[in-house]
Structure formats: C-alpha cells, structure tokens
Amino acid sequence: MWRVKLSTSPSGASHEAGWTEGGIEVNLTIEKSAAASPEAGGGDSPQGAGLDAGPDMGMAAGQLAGSDACSLDNYLSLPDHSMDGRIAAAREQLGAAAIILGHHYQRDEVIRFADFTGDSYKLSKTAAKTEAKYILFCGVHFMAESADVLGRDGQQVILPDLNAGCSMADMAEISQVEACWEALERLRLSDEIIPITYMNSTAAIKAFCGEHGGLVCTSSNARAAFEWAFKRGKRILFLPDQHLGRNTGYAMGIPMDEMVVWDPWSIQLGSIQLGSVQLGTIASGQTAERLAASRVLLWKGHCAVHQRFLPGHVDQARAKYPGIQVIVHPECRWEVCQKADALGSTEQLIALVERAPKGTMFAIGTEIHLVNRLARRFAAEGKRIITLDDTGCLCTTMYRISPHHLAWALENLVEGRVVNRIAVRPQVKHWARVALDRMLELA
C-alpha cells in the first residue's frame, strides 16, 4: 500500500521532499511499503513502538481493521460524541505509555481527557517528569516544540492536528529575526542588545535568543527577565508580542518613547545615516536615531485573541456592572491594561479568582474557554464571571484540535504508529534549551 510519513527519508524512496518549519526538520516520504519503523512515524508493530502490547493491541477501539483503519478522514465524518468511548478505550490500552496534556484554552470536549492542564511551560515541565514515552499535546505548535525541547531522551511529542498553530508565534519568522539582527549589527547596536523571547514563539526563535546571549520568559516572569537582561546589556529586543513587552517595560518605569516598535514588514525608503557612516535601508519603520535612543525594541506581533479586547469593553463592563473587577492578560493592549484592576498570566488570573471573596464579579480579558470554565467552577461560591468582550474571544487555532484528532492519534499509537510527531532539530534544541535554562536563573 502507499503510505505517507513524516520521518527521515530512506534511500530509494519513490517521492521525497524536505523542509524546515519552526526549527523542525521535516521529511515527507511517500513510499510503497508494508511496514515502517514506529520510531520514524510509521510501522505496524506495537512492540516496535515501545508499547506494552497485549493480544488485542493491534485492534483499535471500535474494532477498526484494514489498511486505512486509522485514516483521519474516517474520523472527521463522525459526530464529536462518538469519539468519547474510543478515546477512553485507547487510553486504557496505552496505559502509562502515553499522557495527554491540555492547555487552558483548549475546548472542553478535548481538555476533559487531559491528564494534566495548565499553561504551555508548566505542561512541558510536567510531561518531562513523567515516565510516559508518548506525549499528546492538545495545544498549538510552539507548545509541542517546547515539550520536545524540555522532554527526556526517548520521549516523543505528538500534536494531534498539525494545523494548530499560533498566530503570534507565526509573526516572528527566524529569517525576519536574523535580518533584524543584521540591521542592528550595521547600526553597531547588536553588542548592546539582549534578545528575549516570550514562550509563545517557535523553537527557532528561542534558539536564536539562546545563541545570542538572551533567554525565554513567560507572562508571569517577564519583568524578572527584563531586569536580568538590563544587567547584561543596554537595551532589549523583545519577541514576538509587543503588548507584553510594552506593558512590562511601562510597569518598570521605562518611558513610552524609549520603547519603539520593530516592524519586519515595513520598508523605510532611503538610506540610514549614523554619524558619518552610511548604513543603507533598515527594514523596521524606525530611524537610526530612535533605535539608538531606545531601551526596548518591541517586535510587531500580538495575540489574535487578546488583541480584540478594547478600552471601550472595560468602560462598558463598568457601566453595566458597577463594582465589577476587570482583570486581563498582559498580552492585551496597553490601553486596556491601564484601565484594568489587575493584570496576570493565565495562572495568575485563576489565582485572583480563587482568592476573591464570595460574591465577587469579574470581567476577564482572556480566551473564552478558560473564562467559561472558571464561571462554572466558581458559581457555587457565588462568584460571577463574564468575558470582557461578549462577542466571544476564541483561540481558533487551538480549537482545531478536536476529539476526532485526539482519537485518531491515540488509536494510531495503539496500532504502533506515531503520527504528527514534533521533533526539534538537535542544534535548535540545544540553543533553545540554553535560553530556557537561563530563565531558571530568574527564580
């Protein structure tokens, strides 16, 4: 039969293509084969996949059989609820060999099957401490990359749907960041700059920061990362979320005019002059003088969900519900954060609600699935929780992972096939790990 697999291509393959995506080296091979190695993403032997196979291991829940038994198309045509029993049965067969991670923004139909829930960094660290060989990350692409970077040798990370990306992470491509750095070198500014990337970035961007003396931060330790960087350099290049960078810098007392936006898509016409040196065109939308006078260079990126919250939403919530507490994620615009009662990472927002007295009402500026989940959880305590924008701010890329994708990935594992494996190239993994390890210094 014909099989498509993502793996290292064997010699003599019928069709082969290779590319790099987000720090991942991908080889697509279409070959006519009866079997392939589960370690490379294919194969029919459960024993070869490292599973504790029993006599019925090769038969998925629902007793599927045939060469295309685990084709995704066979799942997507079925109702959501029909996946529940199959997911449960596959998990029982796999046992401790596989764990499911569910990000806070994941849809309820999927996250209820998660062994662990949390933000991306917390989940990646948790998975690395388990004995599981297979990590099914119900999140987005950069999260699965981080799990692979932080994972133990032998662990394999699976993203149930490869289309589950992150618009923010995609706004900083490695070629653009390298071009930015080259421009800063021409301006003779690079030696004074420490690059910091938010966790919501590709492994390639994390590796770039690690290799250039920088580090990774989360939304909860961004200020500590800024302080770490300013001890080592004059200014910061912050990637890829301009809002988190601006909110962090402002909270530290950095004037707004000392935080400039680097726009990778803007071409400034003419040449740049720094003193007597002719430097050529800089693709940033900034003058050489502004860049030289800056303390923070903010990459022009944002979260598609948190960008939707506007200052008017805060005003409307206060007008409609006097006394309401407005709490928002620091990925929101500066104007929104200034009007809010408190800012916080996902975990910090949850803690604010947990600590609040009974009867408190909150309008929360973050992804709608988490808001709705908190509303149900704390209703018994008399706490009322609504979204700051009642049109519903949904992370559409996170939503792409459905019960069908989860069942498909699990049942393929039951049959000894690893699908949608996310494997970061060794060199990228090394420097990304350096950047993440530097973050541990912040504690």
CATH number of 198's domain? 3.40.50.10800
Total domains in the chain come to 3
Between 150 and 443, the more confident residue is 150
What is the structure's pLDDT at 267? 55
54 by DSSP, 3-state: which? coil
Residue that terminates a domain, selected from 276, 304, 332: 304
What is the structure's pLDDT at 282? 54
pLDDT band with cut points at 50, 70 and 90 for residue 288: confident
Write out the residue range of the structural domain in which residue 338 sits: 306-387
- The verdict on residue 353 lying in a domain is yes
Residues 223 and 285 in one domain: yes
CB atoms within 10 A of CB 183: 22
Residues 284 and 310 in one domain: no
Residues 117 and 187 in one domain: no
pLDDT band with cut points at 50, 70 and 90 for residue 230: very high
Q: What is the pLDDT of residues 408-443, one digit of tens each?
A: 999 999 999 999 999 999 999 999 999 999 998 886
Mean pLDDT of the chain: 83
What is the structure's pLDDT at 79? 86
What is the structure's pLDDT at 81? 85
pLDDT exceeds cutoff 80 at 32: no
What is the structure's pLDDT at 218? 95
Average pLDDT over residues 33-56: 32
Q: What is the pLDDT of residues 170-194, one digit of tens each?
A: 999 999 999 999 999 998 998 899 9
Residues 331 and 420 in one domain: no
Residues 93 and 53 in one domain: yes
Average pLDDT over residues 23-41: 35
Residues 182 and 117 in one domain: no
**386-413 exposure pattern, b = at least 16 Cβ within 10 A, e = fewer:** bbbbeeebbbebbbbbbbbbbbbbbbbb
Q: Which residue has the tokens 């916080």?
A: 344
Residues 299 and 310 in one domain: no
Average pLDDT over residues 287-312: 93
Residues 255 and 214 in one domain: yes
Residues 89 and 35 in one domain: yes
Residues 198 and 88 in one domain: no
Q: What percent of the chain has pLDDT over 70?
A: 80
| CA pair distance 67, 244, nearest whole angstrom | 48
Angle, helices 203-211/426-440, rounded to nearest 10 degrees: 70
